[in-house]
Amino acid sequence: MLVRCLYASRAAQPLNSTVLDEILEQSRRNNPELGVTGLLCVAENTFIQVLEGGREEVCDLYNAIVRDGRHEKVRLLVYEEISERQFGAWTMGQLNVARTNPALMLKYFTRSRLDPFEAPGRSTLAFLTEVVATTGITPR
């Protein structure tokens, strides 16, 4: 049984590349064994993460991530059972939204700015799906 989970959170401290590198290193170390794939998107001090994999693995990982002191205000945006992965190419892909085409943001959001706490979870997921389809994200 495959599931997908999308959440957003705020970084507890202003984000720097060391914190981000540590998180990605942990993700890339742990996720392959769990069979979890996904995308970690960073926009200013906001994290948006998609996790895909088995229900047990995704739920356990999500619960661990929620307790992580490096972020706060974790909000679950989408949780669904899926028949196939959309973010299967990455143990944890990375995307910096600051470098995303503003026109693509306007397609899904009221402003050319990503605010996952305001926008419907479905819009944020559709935006990420299109970004993945149209821009190069280094497979890792």
Ligand X SMILES: Cc1cc2nc3c(=O)[nH]c(=O)nc-3n(C[C@H](O)[C@H](O)[C@H](O)COP(=O)(O)O)c2cc1C
Q: Which residues bind ligand X (CB under 6 A)?
A: 23, 26-27, 30-31, 40, 47, 49, 61, 64-65, 68, 70-71, 92
Q: Within its chain, how far is the Cα of 48 from the centroid?
A: 4
Query: 58 or 131: whose CB is closer to ligand X?
Result: 58
Range list of β-strands (E), 12-129 = 37-43, 46-54, 71-82, 93-96
Contact 80, 3 (CB under 8 A): yes
- Alpha-carbon gap, residue 2 to 12, rounded angstroms: 30
Task: Please say whether the beta carbons of 92 and 140 come within 8 A.
Answer: yes
| Residue closer to ligand X (CB basis): 50 or 119 | 50
Minimum CB–partner distance for residue 39 and ligand X (Å): 10
- The nearest distance, CB 107 to ligand X, in angstroms, is 25
Give the tokens for residue 11: 């970084």
Q: Closer to ligand X at the Cβ: 47 or 127? A: 47
19 vs 104, which CB is nearer to ligand X? 19
For residue 99, the minimal CB distance to ligand X (Å) is 19
Shortest gap between Cβ of 100 and ligand X (angstroms)? 18
